[in-house]
A and B are shown apart, each in its own frame.
Chain A
Amino acid sequence: MQEALIAAARHWSADGAPAQPRGWLLQTATRRMVDQWRSDTARREREIRVASEPETGTAAEVDDTLTVLFLCCHPVLSPTSAIALTLRAVGGLTTAEIARAFLVPESTMAQRISRAKQRVAGERFSMPSPEERPDRRRSVLRVLYLMFNEGYVGSTGDDLTRVDLSDEAIRLARHVHAADDDPEVVGLLALMLLTDARRPARTDESGTPVTLADQDRSLWDHARIAEGTALLDGAIGRGAVGEYQLQAAIAAIHDSATTADATDWPQILALYELLERMTASPVVALNRAVAAAMVHGPAAGLAVLDGVDGTLPRVDQLKAHLHELAGAHDLALTHYRRAAGRATNVAERRYLDAQVARLAGGSA
């Protein structure tokens, strides 16, 4: 599967190969899709009265919900505002639930949502035209991706009062997918499933992150992995290869390795190289450095990091780790210290302080 993706992506270029989005299936919403939608509606009473009262009905309701989703993810909004508005208007969460999910007071979130509503109130309440759809779809996918992010990284605690944003993002991505099987829509849903599958093993009892290599893979959700992999298999080669498919393919390689040692790092490295060409993201470069180190050794990883902005999160931690593997303990200690000073969450700080103590103790 991943070989096919690499082959497909090699033909991709930044300005060539325009996306060939499949037409939206809004006008031909099937009974099955409506039924699926209804069952979800039963689970949580949705509120889609954001810009207009929706017609009651079946297919029309589905259409309206997608229209509202596109409106909530309008590019005039900042991602944060778009996420909040989407959760309120499409996800049907209360403002209090959304506020708790983002750890801000309800009044703050109420203002944010209210301001976002005002901003989109003047926008047309209809699905974007076929010409606009690829761009607008990208905005929708970006918002759902960031929503998933929030839940994924914020879910280390087991605070039962917090709504699970990852689950919400997956649910919404399923609905977009039901109406649009554009390969990137499929890619994003697959990415979410393949990533979320590792959640049970991602942190220990104290909430400390467990590295991929140390995770108990028997805890992974293998049904989710199978679903994500099947989705990805179906998407590849059907159209333009995009960043979500590539990220999903990388997640699939990790998920398919029965042990950490069995990970196909050369393929992951090749995929990160493609992803970096496509996105020019420094965070992707950081990931490529990890893969390069796994394939060619710590010096190769450090060489990649030479070209990466050193103030980015996790650059120091990775340098420290690679220097230690290369036997340069003093450099490792320096970078672990710097990383600890720049930590932005408590679990991370604890982990990095422990590394500093371990190395400092060992050399004293």
Chain B
Amino acid sequence: MARYLLIVDFQSGPDESPMSEWTDDEVAAHLNYYGRLNAELIANGELVGGEVLTGPDLAKVVRSDGVTPVITDGPFQEFKEWIAGYQIVDVESEERALEIAGLVSAVPGRGGVPTQQPIQVRRIMDDGPSGVEEMNAYLETASNPR
């Protein structure tokens, strides 16, 4: 098993119209699709977590030298680069993670057409190799050259 972070940002697909221009039914279909997808991932025991994030207006950046934290607004990046939300899935294979990302990207937009938003897929670090054979191959890699 491996965990993956699926990131949705504000980049649009081919249809660049903002959601505020969609009809109520289109928005509802969009949200219902996400709801059904998440319900299915939960039922499968694949969904580890997922949240929708608030917008840039509430974002802060913290820097600290260990004594005095400095808190500023930001980060200042292009709107479309902002992370809108994320899901973490725990799946059998990378193929499955990519398949789920495909389902996220196919969420219906205006006119029921899949938005085709780009979904970032990032593997989360494990705390060990993924099998005895791999581990042994790793350990049997002779001695560390010195």
Q: Which residues of A contact B (CB under 8 A)?
A: 78-81, 84, 102-105, 107-115, 145, 148-149, 152-157, 195, 202, 209-215, 247, 254, 260, 281, 283-284, 286-287, 290-291, 293-294, 313-314, 317-318, 321, 324-325, 343-349
Contacts and interface: CB of A to CB of B under 8 A. Distances in A.
Interface SS majority for chain A: helix
Given A149-B131, A321-B142, A111 B44 contact: yes
B19 interface: no
B132 A195 contact: yes
A39 B131 CA distance: 31
Interface string B100-144: 000000000000000000000001011111111111111111111
B2 interface: yes
A313 B130 contact: yes
B138 A209 contact: yes
Interface SS majority for chain B: mixed
A112 B141 contact: no
Given A212-B140, A321-B141, A346-B127, A283 B134 contact: yes
A314 B127 contact: no
B67 interface: no
B142 A154 contact: no
Given A111-B45, A115-B43, A211 B143 contact: yes
A105 B50 CA distance: 12
A211 B141 contact: yes
A186 B144 CA distance: 34
A42 to B, nearest CB: 30
A344 B45 contact: no
Contacts of B1: 80, 102
A82 to B, nearest CB: 12
A314 B137 contact: yes
Contacts of A148: 132
A211 B144 contact: yes
A287 B140 contact: yes
A344 B2 contact: yes
Contacts of A104: 3, 48, 90
A345 B141 contact: no
A149 B132 contact: yes
Contacts of B123: 344
A109 B45 contact: yes
From B2, B90, B92, B140, name the one whose CB has the most chain A CB atoms within 10 angstroms: B140
A232 B81 CA distance: 58
B53 interface: no
B126 A344 contact: yes
Contacts of B3: 103-104
A318 B137 contact: yes
B49 interface: yes
B45 A112 contact: yes
B136 to A, nearest CB: 7
Given A104-B48, A344-B126, A202 B139 contact: yes
Nearest to B136: A287
B14 interface: no
A152 B47 CA distance: 25
B127 A103 contact: yes
29 contacts: A80-B92, A102-B90, A104-B48, A105-B49, A107-B42, A111-B45, A149-B132, A152-B135, A153-B128, A153-B131, A153-B132, A211-B139, A211-B140, A287-B136, A287-B137, A287-B140, A290-B137, A314-B138, A314-B141, A318-B137, A324-B145, A343-B125, A344-B123, A344-B126, A345-B125, A346-B125, A348-B129, A348-B138, A349-B125
Interface string B68-82: 000000000000000
A213 B143 contact: yes
Contacts of B92: 78-80
A343 B126 CA distance: 9
A73 to B, nearest CB: 16
B43 A153 contact: no
Contacts of B48: 104-105, 108
B130 A108 contact: no
A210 B133 CA distance: 16
Contact of B137 (A149, A283, A348): A283
B125 A344 contact: yes
Nearest to A250: B136
Given A149-B132, A154-B127, A283-B131, A318 B141 contact: yes
Contacts of B131: 149, 153, 283
